[in-house]
Amino acid sequence: MKIALRGLLAGVAVLGLASSISAQDAPEDLLPRESAPVIAPDVGPDEAVTVSEPVVQETAPVVQQTWPDVQVWSVAKATELAQVIEGIGAEGLDPNEYGLAGLKMAIAGGAGDTLNQAASASFSWLAEDLRDGRTPMSARRQWFVVDPDAERMPTPQIMAAALTSGDIGGALAQLNPTHPDYARLKAELAKTPATEKSKRKLIRANMDRWRWLARDLGDQYLMTNVPEFQLRLTVNDKIVRTYKTIVGKPGRTATPQLAETVEGVIFNPTWTVPQSIVKGEGLGARVLGNPAYAKAKGYKATRGANGYVSVVQQPGPGNALGLMKLDMPNEHAIFLHDTPSRGLFNADVRALSHGCIRTERASELALTLAILQAGIEAEEGVAILKSGKYTRVGFKQTMPVYITYFTMGVDIDGNLRSFNDIYGRDAPVLESFDKPRQMNRARYSDEEVIVIEDDMRT
């Protein structure tokens, strides 16, 4: 059976948590509940939790068909391609970057190898930019998202399908982002005069940022736009709930752009204090030498045989991570979590953390996800939260989370507006639009992965 959102809202209300949506208008098609959640009480973050593997149904092997990069084009189909390229400015791209002049010359020469080469190249370049984005990886600062669309929709396959169907424009249009915010940006570009060059370029850059993401974001996902300081819980591209966020300070602690997977919720988390504080700031010696201080702060210290001191802050209202964190393993050590310093959510500019994303009404978010993704009852979730014990509730089905950086987009009130470029990430993107299109672009970032060590203090 499916979980009705009305029931979810009623369940979360057990904790007295405010709801920001109407149950009458909310979508009903949430995740099915088919099995018991994985709940691991009293297990620390460094201890193993055994989870049974899901049963995988065996299917027939998929035979991968390959298509040539150069395919056979008729004059009529190449002419339609030229017409698509001439109108591609509506998608924020430049027609002159897709071999339009050479394509028209080849069309005039008639069918044959020259036309096949020219049309295949023009189609491939355009398909690549529509699917993956025009911005080269070198201009995407701290962008660590792996876009799966090139594997899901290989260019030669798209070309073959277009030539078979005869609908060249329709095949290319299928590559455009489907998120409604992209459509809003496209509409804004259409009504922005050519004289407003700066605005048009900013719109184009943010349209391209949607192409950097997977075309299919999933039925349910979390998305936070860092410069907006907001998190959205989204179902079928409709916002179900929103939460204010606190993000990383500019510099080395700036929050990167990621697409990760939430595997569960950790209620009443512990916090392992980094050695930059344990050793560098003398916390380890202080905790070992002052039991009263350690107890008041919830610290437990251990000294190994080699003299290595580790300090773990136990669960509690004063814990640096608050009352919950989302279990979303990644090499950056970035995750969403609560904070005991909730007054900071009242600030207008909330680039204050050491990289992780602190979330307003975090207990509400944790309970909501535990109900949706793990299938627990609201009362059970409340009991876990109030127990004060470290408890991990694993999801039956993982949930995508997207940490994005849009400087123009639709805000949580449905208005299209710009956001402050708090990390200065616009400049390289905008500059790349002034340079010739790069061929044979890299698909993965080679930027340094900065592991977040300390997200305790402002």
| Mean pLDDT, residues 179-196 taken together | 97
pLDDT at 345: 95
pLDDT at residue 450 tops 60: yes
**pLDDT tens for each residue of 70-128:** 999 999 999 999 999 999 999 999 999 999 999 999 999 999 999 999 999 999 999 99
Structure-block tokens of residue 394: 């694993």
Contact present, 206 and 217 (Cβ < 8 Å)? no
What's the sign of the alpha-carbon dihedral 16, 20, 25, 30?
negative
pLDDT at residue 447 tops 80: yes
| Mean pLDDT, residues 129-158 taken together | 96
According to the 3-state scheme, what is the secondary structure of the chain?
CECCHHHHHHHHHHHCCCCCCCCCCCCCCCCECCCCCEEEECCCCCCCCCCCCCCCCCCCCCCCCCCCCCCCCCHHHHHHHHHHHHCHHHHCCCHHHHCHHHHHHHHHHCCCHHHHHHHHHHHHHHHHHHHHCCCCHHHCCCECCCCCHHHHCCHHHHHHHHHHHCCHHHHHHCCCCCCHHHHHHHHHHHHCCCCCHHHHHHHHHHHHHHHHCCCCCCCEEEEEEHHHCEEEEEECCEEEEEEEEEEECCCCCCCCEEEEEEEEEEECCCEECCHHHHCCCCHHHHHHHCHHHHHHHCEEEEECCCCCEEEEECCCCCCCCCCEEEECCCCCCCCEECCCCHHHHHCCCCEEECCCEEECCHHHHHHHHHHHHHCCCHHHHHHHHHHCCCEEEEEEEEEEEEEECCCEEECCCCCEEECCCCCCCHHHHHHHHCCCCCCCCCCCCCCCCCCCCCCCCC
pLDDT at 59: 45
**pLDDT tens for each residue of 420-441:** 999 999 999 999 999 999 998 8
pLDDT at 54: 35
pLDDT at 453: 61
- Residue of 377, 411, 415 whose CA lies nearest to 393: 377
CA distance 37 to 227: 35
| Mean pLDDT, residues 218-243 taken together | 96
Place of tokens 């209300």: 13
CA distance 130 to 147: 13
- Mean pLDDT for all residues in the chain: 87
CA distance 233 to 160: 38
- Is CATH 1.10.3720.10 the classification given to domain 5-48+220-404? no
CA distance 5 to 154: 37
**pLDDT tens for each residue of 312-335:** 999 998 899 999 999 999 999 999
- Type of residue at 321: L
pLDDT at residue 56 tops 80: no
pLDDT at residue 359 tops 90: yes
Length of the chain counted residue by residue: 458
Contact present, 433 and 358 (Cβ < 8 Å)? no
pLDDT at 12: 54
Contacts of 234 (CB under 8 A, 6+ apart): 217, 220, 221, 222, 223, 240
Domain ranges of the chain: 5-48+220-404, 75-214
